[in-house]
């Protein structure tokens, strides 16, 4: 059994590693909410399976599946995917799973279990209830026999933090300072908690994230650390797109500062795809349920290529059948990560549920 640790990672010599550091494996959750994913979630399940199969060539993948979907998922998933039954409220393990921290001296890995409130609780949350999601981190730690730190009162999603593993954390103000997360805390108090539980010294606050991102603009949709000192930034050259000003502010922040080691950051601009709008057919395929964010025809989705996942030796990159920008994204990322294989996976069905490839994956570092 894993046990709850009462101190904090920093005091115990644990740090959150960069995503580009070696992984033991990766976690995912099988999608099934018909009020979030269209057509009984079948197209989303096919997309999640594509991601799992692509990823499993580079590291072990575990898929968490509800009891009602267990047999169906086993039918679709190839045998190398470990399938474990678990209750959840939806499929975003980046946000509900543990943040893993490692001790470089002993090699021990532990989990951090944050409070989860479905991206905003009763004020601004995307569905109700979320009590099963809030138990996912603890259950994963139990399965893996990892001890864990637990913050009963501090709300945070894994997609809202990005580290370089060498003392620097990047977040967005729109998300972490939103009144639906930790309104009882000052910015300074939020910083202190993050410094203790991720073991970072410097926090870079980007003002905003991706336009209309329903997570209050998670950082993982706008930037991605690809190595210490190297960041990919979602970008658009179109000055009439609201994203232009948002990305420009982030660019100015990133290029105008230094990281915890005193380095200037190298920033790679990753052009966003052409605007993705929900079609009538896509909207009509989603069940309307009181308390769940609706998917209306014409809604712009927060599409970005920066929400990729870095596996051992490869990058699983979301693409959208965009003739203008998919290839450019692959080339840009290959330039930023010359030693990684870039593996594109069609991700529109994931995007229609409000997220992307980084949101549906959570890496477990190698100790």
For ligand KQY, give the closer residue by CB, 89 or 144. Answer: 89
Give the Cα separation of 243 and 49 in Å (integer): 31
Q: Which of 125, 273, 344, 354 binds ligand KQY (CB under 6 A)?
A: 354
By CB under 6 A, residue 318 contacts ligand KQY: no
Per the CB < 8 A criterion, the answer to whether 101 and 83 are in contact is no
SS (H, E, C) 300-319: ECCCCCCCCEEECCEEEEEE
By CB under 6 A, residue 355 contacts ligand KQY: yes
Q: Which of 17, 159, 209, 365 binds ligand KQY (CB under 6 A)?
A: 159
By CB under 6 A, residue 148 contacts ligand KQY: no
CA separation (Å) from 154 to 37, 87, 114, 149, 182?
29, 22, 6, 12, 7
Looking from the CA of 175 toward its CB, the CA atoms found within 13 Å total 32
For ligand KQY, give the closer residue by CB, 9 or 31. Answer: 31
359 given a catalytic annotation: yes
Interaction residues for ligand KQY, span 121-140 (CB under 6 A): 126
Q: Which of 15, 38, 135, 218 binds ligand KQY (CB under 6 A)?
A: 218
Closest to 142 measured CA to CA, from 187, 84, 182, 220: 84
Phi-psi region of 157 (alpha: psi -120 to 50; beta: other; left: phi over 0): beta
What binding mask, one character per residue, do residues 277-296 give for ligand KQY by CB under 6 A, x or -? Answer: ----------------x---
Q: Which of 199, 215, 312, 332 binds ligand KQY (CB under 6 A)?
A: 215
Looking from the CA of 335 toward its CB, the CA atoms found within 13 Å total 13
By CB under 6 A, residue 209 contacts ligand KQY: no
CA separation (Å) from 136 to 93, 117, 126, 357?
8, 12, 17, 19
For ligand KQY, give the closer residue by CB, 124 or 214. Answer: 214
Size of the residue set binding ligand KQY (CB under 6 A): 15
Per the CB < 8 A criterion, the answer to whether 311 and 58 are in contact is yes
Q: Which of 92, 205, 235, 305 binds ligand KQY (CB under 6 A)?
A: 92
Question: Whose CB is nearest to ligand KQY?
Answer: 354
For ligand KQY, give the closer residue by CB, 109 or 126. Answer: 126
By CB under 6 A, residue 95 contacts ligand KQY: yes
Residue 29, SS3?
A: strand
Per the CB < 8 A criterion, the answer to whether 214 and 293 are in contact is yes
Residues that bind ligand KQY (CB under 6 A): 36, 90, 92, 94-95, 126, 159, 214-215, 218, 293, 353-355, 359
Active site residues: 359
């Amino acid at each position: 059994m894993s046990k709850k640790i009462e101190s904090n990672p920093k005091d115990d010599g644990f740090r959150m590693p960069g995503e580009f550091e070696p992984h033991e494996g990766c976690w995912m959750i099988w999608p099934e909410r018909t009020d979030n994913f269209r057509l009984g979630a079948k197209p989303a399940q096919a997309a999640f399976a594509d991601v799992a199969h692509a990823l499993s060539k580079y590291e072990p993948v575990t898929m968490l599946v509800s009891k009602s979907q267990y047999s169906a998922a086993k039918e679709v998933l190839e045998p190398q995917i470990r399938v474990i039954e678990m209750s959840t409220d939806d499929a975003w393990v980046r946000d509900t799973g543990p943040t893993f921290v490692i001790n470089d001296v002993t090699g021990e890995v532990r989990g951090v279990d944050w409070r989860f409130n479905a991206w905003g609780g009763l004020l601004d949350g995307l569905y109700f209830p979320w009590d099963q999601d809030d138990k996912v981190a603890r259950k994963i730690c139990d399965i893996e026999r990892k001890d864990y730190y637990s913050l009963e009162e501090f709300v945070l999603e894994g997609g809202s933090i990005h580290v370089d593993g060498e003392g620097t954390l990047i977040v967005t103000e729109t998300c972490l300072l939103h009144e639906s997360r930790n309104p009882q805390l000052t910015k300074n108090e939020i910083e202190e908690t993050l410094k203790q539980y991720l073991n970072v010294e410097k926090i870079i606050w980007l003002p905003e994230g991706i336009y209309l991102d329903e997570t209050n603009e998670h950082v993982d949709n706008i930037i991605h650390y690809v190595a210490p000192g190297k960041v990919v930034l979602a970008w658009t050259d179109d000055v009439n797109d609201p994203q232009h000003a948002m990305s420009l502010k982030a660019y100015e922040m990133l290029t105008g500062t230094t990281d915890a080691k005193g380095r200037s950051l190298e920033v790679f601009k990753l052009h966003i795809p052409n605007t993705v709008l929900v079609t009538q057919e896509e909207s009509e395929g989603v069940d309307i349920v009181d308390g769940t964010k609706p998917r209306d025809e014409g809604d712009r989705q927060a599409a970005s290529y920066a929400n990729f996942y870095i596996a051992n030796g490869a990058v699983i990159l979301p693409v959208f059948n965009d003739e203008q920008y998919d290839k450019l994204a692959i080339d840009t990322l290959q330039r930023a990560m010359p030693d990684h294989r870039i593996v594109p996976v069609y991700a529109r069905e994931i995007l229609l549920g409000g997220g992307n490839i980084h949101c549906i994956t959570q890496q477990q570092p190698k100790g």
